[in-house]
Amino acid sequence: MRHPDWLALAIAVALAGCSFQNKYESEADKITQAVIHNDLSPVRDDIDPNVHITRVQVAQWSDELSAQGKLQSVKEITQDCTPGWHCFLVKFDKHNYLESLRYNEQGKIVDWRFHMTTQPA
């Protein structure tokens, strides 16, 4: 058995399983996925308990984002991002979206916004 081949395979498998997202991209991805699935329970603990989001709001958001096809990527951007917010370019099959997240001092989400961009997918 040649160890270099085995080692190269192990490294390739490990890298394939790694996420190259920063923690904010990962959080935005989790929220987007939760909304698409019309279920905020996977991110409930990440949201400040004083933020009131209705099931109707989540269902409306889910309908909009689900209609965009497969979620391809979530990438943090800084251009035109308001200080105190984290902004993301979110790519779907059909359209791109801009998402924004704002956190409180405890690291809980206090605001999440999204809108379709004019940039083609």
113, β-bridge pairs: 100
Q: Looking at the whole model, is its pTM more than 0.85?
A: no
Q: What is the pLDDT of residues 69-107, one digit of tens each?
A: 999 999 999 999 999 999 999 999 999 999 999 999 999
- pLDDT-derived band at 21, boundaries 50, 70, 90: confident
Q: Which two tokens stand for residue 120?
A: 């083609």
The Cα 37–Cα 99 span in angstroms is 17
- For the chain, which domains are there? 21-120 (3.10.450.590)
